[in-house]
């Protein structure tokens, strides 16, 4: 095909996208006013739940900007951060919650005054955006909601759904744009199922769509996409083990459950999670095989493509051991961000260091703050809730202080977010040779650091103000990032021996977990049980540390671990309706069972003997 032919095809695709867009008149009008000369506002922040059409709306903003003669610059928070140099441009940022600090402190202030910005994310602007008078003067915020009935009808009509089915479709979906698009795909292939409008509707529609794929190979392609962060045509070919994946890749890009990202195709979040979860329990061998192929592909691409480190990490987002280290914090659970410190912050941070570690440690932190102020990072959830001090000395990163301001280095959501922040820094800092991490009470951390290939450095232990510290180090020259990720994956699977019989069937194991949860506050009853109290507590800590699992953990916590008097009281304490409470409780029991099955399912006999 000639270059001219590609251009004409691109124009046809663009025209089709513009024709297929309906509604959002107010949002388009607001952005149109931003494009006008002399507009008082320069930044439009659109936020809303997954599937409400934020990315699609951004694309329409791009069309408007191009019509106005502006250059359009696309950025995606899921991709590595890049510099932006543009004049008289429209900068469009998707998945903004992943790069909040960079947007606020680096990108936006550096843009020219003739640049307009549209930002889309699941969460509203952070507290720093909303409370700063400067940002408030140029920022306009809009929350995307479901489509009204007339707009929903227009969307269904454009997608070919008969008018006679519109009312039922809108009752199902309440105008949720992604659900409507899924329903149109299903309707094109079969009758609309007779179901009610609940959160389970999306899963049911998705299952209907998957059941209508052209071939099993197409189904495998969807499942493969659910395992990776971004799907490209070469990666898809590697996952399917075929020389050419163009036909299937082109089929994927036409599906309503697939969106475009700068680096490839991305499944919508709820679609990805549904597919991945089902594949994991239905075909664990295929699940493992897809991970192996993806890992091999990323290893071939590295180090020429540094971004594959993030893709590689994404493969392990659901593992009980690695997931909490590698998964992005979900802002709906804990809205943590990382910023540099200010003079106002520092007084509070120094007091926390002195409280937890003593005056000598606080004095050392003061020296680093003076000599390398950029080495001090603040963890925020509105206010400062944690800190990291990590100066660079040559090619060595010394993590000299890290803590939640209230609970120090105890396992906590803040501590786990700090771990995630540091791991991402290890994987993305060019030329990093060595990392040394200082810990109070190092004996407590020895096993965790050993698992992650950080070794206690001989001769580096020291005492300050009666407190004992140790230092754990990793040589990234000897074991570079990609090798390190593979090492951790191998260690995670070391006990997964398919030829070793499990002492309990999965059904028996699940029943044992339920019994152990019910008797958690009765140690006498657990003494001879297949699962001990410590095992339940360890798995619960994994859930607590995982942003994805924290909501389910809280329900388990108030039901079994530190139970309220009744389940009704637990639901009231959690401010949940009983139906929602029961759904979260079932999900929590299923998740803790999965963690225990993967982590200690092979060791139940040994634990039973120990008890």
How does pLDDT run across 68-99, given as a tens digit for each residue?
999 898 888 877 667 777 778 899 999 888 88
Cβ contact 384:345 at 8 Å = yes
* Residue 132 burial (10 A CB sphere; 0-12, 13-18, 19+): middle
Confidence band for 528, pLDDT divided at 50, 70 and 90: low
Cα gap 593→595, rounded to integer Å:
5
Task: Give the tens place of pLDDT for each residue, 389-404.
Answer: 999 999 999 999 999 9
First to last CA, the chain: 70
pLDDT of residue 468: 93
Phi then psi for residue 92, to 5 deg, are: -115, 125
The stretches of 115-197 forming alpha helices (DSSP H) are 127-131, 133-138, 149-158, 166-173, 177-187
Confidence band for 549, pLDDT divided at 50, 70 and 90: confident
Cβ contact 252:314 at 8 Å = no
Closest residue by Cα to residue 70 from 39, 36, 38, 96: 36
Lowest mean per-residue pLDDT among 427-431, 486-490, 555-559, 601-605: 601-605
Cα gap 391→398, rounded to integer Å:
6
* pLDDT greater than 90 at residue 362: yes
Over range 441-445, report the average pLDDT. Answer: 86
Cα gap 599→597, rounded to integer Å:
6
Lowest mean per-residue pLDDT among 18-22, 253-257, 479-483, 504-508: 504-508
Confidence band for 188, pLDDT divided at 50, 70 and 90: low
Q: What are the DSSP calls for 417-481, one per residue?
A: HHHHHHHHHHHH-TT--EEEEEEESHHHHHHHHHHTT-EEPTT--EEETTEEEEEEEEETTTS-H
Cα gap 170→152, rounded to integer Å:
7
Higher pLDDT, 394 or 326: 394
Q: What is the mean pLDDT of the chain?
A: 80
Closest residue by Cα to residue 98 from 75, 127, 132: 75
pLDDT of residue 525: 63
Cα gap 237→235, rounded to integer Å:
5
Over range 65-70, report the average pLDDT. Answer: 90
* pLDDT greater than 60 at residue 344: yes
Cα gap 240→243, rounded to integer Å:
9
pLDDT of residue 502: 40
* pLDDT greater than 90 at residue 550: no
pTM across the whole model: 0.46
Lowest mean per-residue pLDDT among 391-395, 468-472, 531-535: 531-535
CB atoms within 10 A of CB 486: 15
Cβ contact 327:317 at 8 Å = yes
CB atoms within 10 A of CB 154: 16
């Amino acid at each position: 095909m000639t270059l001219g032919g590609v251009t004409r095809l691109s124009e046809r695709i663009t025209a089709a996208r513009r024709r297929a867009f309906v509604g959002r008149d107010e949002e388009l009008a607001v952005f149109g006013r931003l494009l006008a000369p002399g507009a008082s506002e320069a930044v439009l922040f659109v936020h809303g739940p997954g599937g409400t059409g934020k990315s699609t709306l951004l694309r329409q903003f791009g069309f408007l900007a191009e019509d106005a003669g502006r250059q359009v610059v696309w950025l995606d928070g899921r991709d590595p951060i890049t510099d932006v140099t543009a004049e008289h441009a429209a900068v469009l940022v998707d998945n903004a919650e992943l790069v909040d600090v960079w947007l606020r402190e680096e990108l936006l202030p550096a843009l020219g005054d003739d640049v307009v910005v549209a930002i889309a994310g699941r969460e509203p602007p952070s507290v720093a955006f909303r409370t700063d008078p400067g940002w408030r003067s140029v920022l306009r915020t809009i929350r995307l909601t479901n489509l009204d009935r007339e707009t929903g009808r227009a969307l269904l009509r454009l997608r070919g759904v008969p008018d006679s089915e519109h009312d039922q479709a809108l009752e199902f979906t309440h105008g949720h744009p992604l659900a409507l698009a899924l329903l149109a795909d299903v309707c094109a292939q079969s009758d609309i199922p007779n179901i009610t409008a609940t959160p389970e509707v999306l899963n049911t529609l998705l299952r209907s769509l998957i059941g209508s794929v052209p071939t099993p190979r197409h189904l495998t392609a969807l499942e493969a996409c659910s395992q990776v962060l971004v799907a490209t045509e070469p990666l898809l070919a590697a996952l399917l083990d075929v020389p050419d994946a163009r036909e299937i890749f082109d089929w994927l890009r036409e599906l309503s459950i697939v969106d475009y990202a700068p680096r490839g195709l991305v499944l919508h979040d709820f679609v990805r999670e549904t597919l991945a979860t089902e594949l994991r329990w239905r075909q664990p061998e295929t699940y493992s095989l897809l991970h192996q192929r993806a890992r091999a592909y990323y290893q071939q691409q590295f180090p020429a493509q540094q971004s594959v480190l993030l893709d590689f990490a994404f493969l392990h987002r659901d593992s009980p051991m690695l997931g909490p280290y590698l998964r992005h914090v979900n802002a709906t659970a804990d809205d943590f961000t990382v910023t540099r410190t200010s003079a106002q912050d520092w007084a509070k941070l120094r007091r926390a260091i002195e409280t937890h570690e003593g005056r000598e440690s606080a004095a050392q932190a003061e020296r680093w703050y003076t000599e390398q102020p950029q080495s001090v990072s603040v963890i925020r959830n509105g206010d400062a809730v944690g800190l990291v001090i990590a100066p660079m000395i040559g090619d060595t990163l010394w993590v000299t202080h890290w803590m939640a301001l209230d609970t120090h280095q105890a396992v906590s959501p803040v501590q786990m977010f700090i771990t995630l922040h540091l791991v991402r820094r290890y994987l993305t800092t060019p030329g990093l040779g060595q990392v040394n991490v200082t810990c109070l009470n190092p004996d407590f951390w020895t096993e965790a650091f050993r698992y992650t290939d950080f070794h206690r450095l001989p001769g580096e232990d020291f005492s300050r103000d009666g407190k004992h510290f140790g230092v754990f180090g990793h040589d990234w020259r000897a074991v570079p990032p990609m090798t390190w990720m593979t090492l951790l994956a191998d260690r995670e699977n070391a006990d997964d021996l398919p030829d070793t019989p499990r002492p309990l069937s999965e059904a028996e194991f699940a029943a044992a977990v339920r019994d152990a949860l019910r008797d958690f506050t009765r140690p006498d009853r657990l003494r001879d049980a297949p699962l001990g109290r410590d095992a339940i507590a360890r798995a619960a800590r994994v859930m607590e540390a995982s942003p994805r699992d924290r909501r389910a953990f809280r329900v388990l916590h108030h039901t079994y671990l530190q139970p309220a008097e009744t389940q009704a009281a637990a639901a009231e304490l959690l401010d949940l309706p009983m139906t929602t409470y029961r759904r979260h409780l079932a999900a929590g029991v299923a998740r803790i069972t999965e963690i225990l099955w993967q982590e200690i399912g092979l060791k139940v006999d040994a634990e039973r003997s120990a008890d």
